[in-house]
């Protein structure tokens, strides 16, 4: 047994001397403290201390112990030892199971010694605990245990010893100090989601072992804390810190708040469960402490923001959940005994109850096991069954049928002798206000005629129980963790209060929960593939209802059309559709209490024409094809007879549209075909030489037409003719952008042909110059020809590169020439009129082919395709094409 304050328990000399030797050896304490500890036998000389052994420092660790009724700590051998705090990870279910084994109750009726304070108004924590009311709780076995006691769902209490244990470097105990504490916690249902925790010490309860002086000055800090802050739990309040001597003399109350965030829970009521605990740390200047540890066990609170079944003033609450909620009726009560005995029989499978059924299993019996079938509270407005009849109405109908031997109960229903209206009323269990009532249809219920006044009284007590134990109303949208099942416990507690004394308290202004209002907004329109904004709204007097959007395609919309919402659960959202058409959008709101409410609007979606353009992609392929034509590339060279593959990307925001591609190969042939995968892909073989401008376009199934895109290719015939062009021409003003006014005689030379030994590269040369004496003279001498085109109708085009005389600048040169039919070597392979020529020169730094940024172009207004090159008439010289 621990010694009382100010005493030195017998048998502690060994402890004191051991403590003294260790402290002297470590030189850890002041001389005054050594003097206080040193004990010398009368008449004897002081003994020399042992040589220092340099032991590790002493530490003081937090300590807690349950107590006996007289305040003494329960010996370790008779109680479960607490594991270190860091080794314990209790869950809310663990705490509840432990509390259940300790026999905690929820709603304790009159006569059990734990009468409940009236809850006719919203409950909130007091400024300080009512000690006279909590005295039986503190003195109970549960109150003095490691879990404390849930006195009812709104009150918790605990009494025990806390303090510190001094240990040496080997972990052996060399001293301890403790005081008795009293703790209480209060839930609330006044519109706040928190509980208030109180703690004080009992003055004069300190007990010491070992050095009293050092332990008296040790500091003990105590506070309340959450087990897990990540789940929306917070704790606040100043730490209570005093010396152990002050804890022994000062019995004032300290308090803390444990709160639950409004948005931390699940289900329509935002139900959250949190574990909390009391924590302490003991230390001094001479005795370093260890990290704070929780003492005793964690406790569970359940917080909610219920909008149904409670007055608005009680719309938020936190209660203690380490107890199985259960209503208690006494079978011996004159006030509700008939109902209690009916329920007792209904819950007893050996007792005959009606309607008759073999193996009847009526739910709701309190057996101290949360996994057993419980009851779930409903209201008269709890959403309907699939057949559009509310749970409450269906329960009442089936109850009446069973009491009157109606359909389908007939001979199995309640015998007429057991039901004598109007003196009696038809009582049912499970109650009509539960989801498990007679309306379930499985015959697992019971009916019996009971005195009307008794039935009324039992109903009033059930109504009060729902409020006093904060039983949440079940909703179809409730997830399992948010449900609040309860049970019924039939006792034999005497109660002689007559039924006439039952008073039904007012509902303190409970407001009918009206359905939400909803508006889908104005009719809107927009393009397919684009986000069209919807301006919906929804409101509910009791809170924010859940909302969601749906859509339906109208008549005439193409099959396969679909839409997607930017955020289908937000009233303000957008809709994107894959095809044009008229769609109906519907906004539905649900408050979890009433049925769903909806409103609709019309969305008109317009078709958008496709576009031959790169598809959205980070690929180099898309980046290289600004026009949308991926292959062939501009001015790509092909040999006659080889395949030219056209690949053209196109886009269309109407993802449900179908498309037809049209290709003109510029040689007199065209193709139309259905596209797949947002591409036009076809291959073509040219049979003659030329420069061909390929064009492609796309049309969607709604009539949208994409603008054509083009690409020019070079096709040469190594077995065709060869060309020789020599002479001059009149270079017009504007041909030389660097000198727009320059005009005069220009000269050019081109010779080239393909030889059988190399049919891929022509042999020849090209040159263009303005002669000496010209005010704007230039001379570009070309090198090897890159390609040579000689068309069957007497047109010539060739490309080479060269350097501007007198500089290192590199240029590209394309020479064009038309052969006159006068003197043509092949009939028909010529052009009417005189021989004609054109020269285009551009810096190679601008690209491999001319795009308009040129150094010189003798026919700047014409296109680059040889068929539209429009050369100038030669002033001197000739164009000669030689055919094999």
Residue pLDDT, tens place only, 354-398: 999 999 999 999 987 788 999 999 998 887 666 667 899 999 999
Predicted confidence at residue 605, as pLDDT, reads 96
Give the pLDDT band of residue 68 (cuts 50, 70, 90). confident
| β-sheet bridge partners, residue 880 | 724
In Å, what is the CA distance from 542 to each residue of 190, 264, 310, 315, 401?
15, 18, 11, 9, 36
User: pLDDT band at residue 828, thresholds of 50, 70 and 90?
Assistant: low
What values do phi and psi take at 401, rounded to 5? -65, -40
Which own/partner contact pairs does 87-92 have at CB distance under 8 Å and 24+ positions apart?
A: 90/227, 90/275, 90/297, 90/298, 91/275, 92/273, 92/274, 92/275, 92/300, 92/321
Residue pair 404/428 in contact by the 8 Å Cβ criterion: no
Kindly report, residue by residue over 156-212, the tens digit of the pLDDT: 999 999 999 998 888 888 889 999 999 999 999 988 999 999 999 999 999 998 766
From residue 220, give the alpha-carbon distance in Å to each of 211, 316, 401. Answer: 16, 35, 67
d(CA 829, CA 452): 119
Give residue 847's pLDDT: 92
Average pLDDT over the chain, rounded to an integer: 83
Per-residue confidence (pLDDT) for residue 120, from 0 to 100:
62
Predicted local distance difference test score (pLDDT) of residue 623: 38
Gyration radius of the chain over CA positions: 49
Q: Per residue in 643-670, pLDDT tens? A: 999 999 998 898 889 999 999 999 999 9
What proportion of the chain, given as a percentage, has pLDDT over 90?
54
Q: pLDDT digit string (tens) for 425-455?
A: 999 999 999 999 999 999 999 999 999 999 9
Q: What is the pLDDT of residue 388?
A: 65
Q: Which tens digits make up the pLDDT trace of 829-841? A: 677 888 999 999 9
- Residue 581 near residue 558, CB atoms below 8 Å: yes
Q: Which residue has the higher pLDDT, 86 or 334?
A: 334
104 vs 156: CA distance, rounded Å: 10
What's the pLDDT score for residue 96?
Answer: 43
3-state secondary structure (DSSP) of residue 195 = strand
Determine how many CB atoms are found less than 10 A away from the CB of residue 447.
27
> Side-chain half-sphere of 247: how many Cα atoms within 13 Å?
33
> Which of 349-354's residues contact partners 24+ apart within 8 Å by CB, and which partners?
353/446, 353/448, 354/402, 354/412, 354/413, 354/414, 354/415, 354/418, 354/446, 354/447, 354/448
* Helix (H) or strand (E) segment spanning residue 446: strand 446-451
pTM recorded for the entire structure: 0.55
159 beta partners: 182
Task: State the pLDDT at residue 594.
Answer: 74
Mean per-residue pLDDT, 475-501? 87
DSSP β-ladder status, 233-236 and 194-201: unpaired
Considering Cα of 174, then 179, then 180, then 182, what sign does the dihedral take? negative
Calculate mean pLDDT across residues 501-528.
79
Lookup: tokens for 604: 């008109």
What percent of the chain has pLDDT above 70?
82
Q: pLDDT band for position 43 (50/70/90)? A: very low
Looking at residue 10, its pLDDT comes to 37
Structure token pair of residue 826: 């092949």
For residue 776, is pLDDT > 70? no
Report pLDDT for 220.
94
Question: CA-to-CA distance for 747 and 726, rounded, in angstroms?
Answer: 8
Whether the CB-CB separation of 320 and 153 falls below 8 Å is answered with yes
Can you give the pLDDT at residue 624?
39
- Answer whether residue 285 shows pLDDT above 80: no
φ, ψ of residue 465 to 5 degrees: the values are -60, -45
pLDDT of residue 71: 65
Positive or negative, the CA dihedral 356, 359, 364, 367 is positive
Instruction: Provide the pLDDT for residue 312.
Output: 78
pLDDT at residue 708 above 90? no
The closest of 52, 302, 305 to 154, measured between CA atoms, is 302
Give yes or no for residue 867 having a pLDDT over 90: yes
CA dihedral 412, 415, 421, 423 (to 10 degrees): -130
């Amino acid at each position: 047994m621990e010694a009382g304050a100010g005493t030195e328990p017998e048998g502690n000399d060994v402890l004191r001397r051991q403590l003294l030797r260790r402290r002297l050896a470590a030189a850890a304490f002041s001389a005054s403290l050594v003097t206080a500890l040193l004990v010398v036998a009368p008449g004897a000389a002081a003994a020399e201390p042992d040589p220092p052994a340099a032991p590790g420092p002493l530490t003081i660790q937090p300590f807690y112990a349950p107590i006996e009724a007289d305040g003494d700590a329960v010996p370790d051998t008779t109680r479960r030892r607490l594991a270190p705090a860091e080794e314990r990870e209790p869950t809310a279910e663990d705490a509840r199971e432990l509390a259940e084994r300790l026999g905690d109750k929820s709603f304790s009726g009159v006569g059990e010694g734990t009468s409940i304070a009236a809850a006719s108004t919203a409950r909130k924590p007091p400024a300080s605990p009512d000690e006279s009311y909590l005295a039986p709780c503190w003195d109970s076995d549960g109150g003095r245990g490691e879990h404390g006691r849930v006195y009812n769902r709104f009150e918790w209490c605990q009494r025990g010893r806390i303090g510190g244990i001094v240990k040496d470097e080997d972990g052996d105990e060399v001293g301890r100090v403790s005081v008795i504490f009293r703790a209480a916690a209060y839930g609330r249902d006044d519109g706040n989601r928190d509980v208030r925790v109180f703690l004080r010490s009992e003055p004069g309860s300190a007990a010491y072992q070992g050095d009293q002086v050092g332990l008296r000055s040790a500091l003990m800090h105590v506070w309340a804390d959450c087990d897990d802050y990540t789940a929306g739990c917070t704790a606040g309040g100043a730490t209570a810190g005093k010396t152990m001597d002050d804890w022994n003399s000062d019995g004032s109350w300290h308090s803390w708040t444990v709160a639950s965030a409004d948005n931390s829970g699940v289900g329509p009521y935002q139900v959250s469960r949190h574990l909390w605990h009391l924590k302490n740390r003991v230390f001094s200047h001479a005795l370093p402490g260890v990290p704070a540890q929780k003492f005793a066990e964690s406790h569970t609170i359940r917080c909610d923001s219920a909008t149904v079944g409670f007055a608005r003033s009680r719309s938020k609450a936190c209660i203690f959940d380490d107890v199985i909620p259960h209503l208690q009726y006494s079978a011996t009560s004159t006030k509700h005994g008939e109902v209690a005995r009916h329920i007792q029989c209904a819950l007893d499978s050996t007792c005959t109850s009606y309607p008759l059924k073999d193996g009847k299993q009526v739910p709701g019996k309190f057996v101290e096991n949360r996994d057993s079938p419980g009851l779930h509270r409903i209201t008269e407005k709890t959403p309907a069954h699939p057949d559009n009849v509310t749970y409450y109405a269906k329960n009442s109908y089936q109850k009446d049928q069973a009491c009157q031997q109606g359909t389908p109960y007939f001979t199995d229903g309640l015998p007429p002798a057991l039901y004598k209206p109007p003196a009696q009323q038809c009582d049912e269990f499970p109650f009509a206000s539960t989801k498990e009532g007679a309306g379930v249809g499985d015959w697992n219920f019971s009916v019996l005629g009971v005195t009307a006044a008794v039935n009324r009284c039992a109903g009033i007590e059930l109504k009060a129980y729902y409020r006093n134990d904060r039983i949440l109303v079940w909703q179809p949208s409730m997830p399992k963790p948010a449900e609040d099942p309860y049970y019924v416990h039939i006792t034999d507690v005497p109660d002689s209060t007559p039924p006439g004394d039952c008073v039904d308290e007012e509902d303190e202004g409970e407001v009918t929960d009206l359905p939400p209002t909803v508006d889908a907004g104005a009719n809107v329109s927009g393009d397919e593939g684009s986000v069209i904004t919807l301006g919906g709204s929804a409101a509910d007097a009791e809170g924010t209802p859940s909302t969601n959007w749906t859509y339906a395609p109208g008549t005439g919309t193409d099959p396969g059309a679909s839409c997607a919402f930017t955020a289908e659960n937000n009233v303000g959202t957008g809709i994107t559709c894959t095809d044009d058409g008229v769609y109906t959008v519907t906004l539905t709101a649900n408050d979890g209490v009433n049925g769903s409410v909806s409103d609709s609007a019309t969305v008109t979606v317009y078709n958008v024409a496709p576009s031959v353009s790169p598809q959205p992609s980070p690929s180099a392929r898309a980046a290289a094809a600004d026009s949308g034509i991926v292959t062939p590339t501009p001015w790509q060279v092909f040999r006659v007879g080889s395949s030219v593959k056209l690949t053209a990307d196109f886009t269309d925001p109407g993802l449900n549209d179908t498309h037809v591609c049209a290709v003109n190969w510029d040689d007199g042939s065209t193709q139309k075909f259905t596209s797949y995968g947002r591409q036009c892909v076809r291959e073509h073989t040219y049979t003659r030489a030329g420069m061909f401008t390929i064009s492609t376009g796309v049309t969607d199934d709604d009539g949208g037409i994409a603008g054509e895109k083009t690409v020019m290719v070079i096709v040469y015939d190594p077995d065709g003719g060869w060309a020789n062009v020599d002479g001059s021409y009149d270079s017009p003003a504007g041909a030389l952008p660097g000198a727009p006014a320059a005009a005069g005689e220009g000269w050019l030379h081109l010779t080239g042909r393909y030889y059988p030994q190399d049919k891929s590269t022509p042999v020849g040369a090209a040159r263009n110059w303005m002669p000496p004496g010209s005010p704007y003279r230039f001379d570009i001498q070309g090198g090897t020809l890159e390609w040579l085109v000689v068309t069957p109708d007497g047109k010539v085009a060739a490309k080479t590169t060269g350097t501007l005389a007198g500089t290192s600048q590199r240029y590209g040169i394309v020479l064009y020439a038309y052969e006159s039919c006068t003197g043509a070597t092949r009939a028909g392979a010529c052009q009417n009129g005189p021989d004609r020529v054109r020269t285009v020169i551009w810096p190679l730094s601008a690209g491999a082919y001319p795009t308009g940024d040129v150094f010189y172009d003798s026919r700047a207004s014409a296109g680059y395709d040889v068929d539209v090159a429009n050369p100038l008439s030669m002033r001197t010289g000739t164009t000669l094409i030689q055919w094999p």
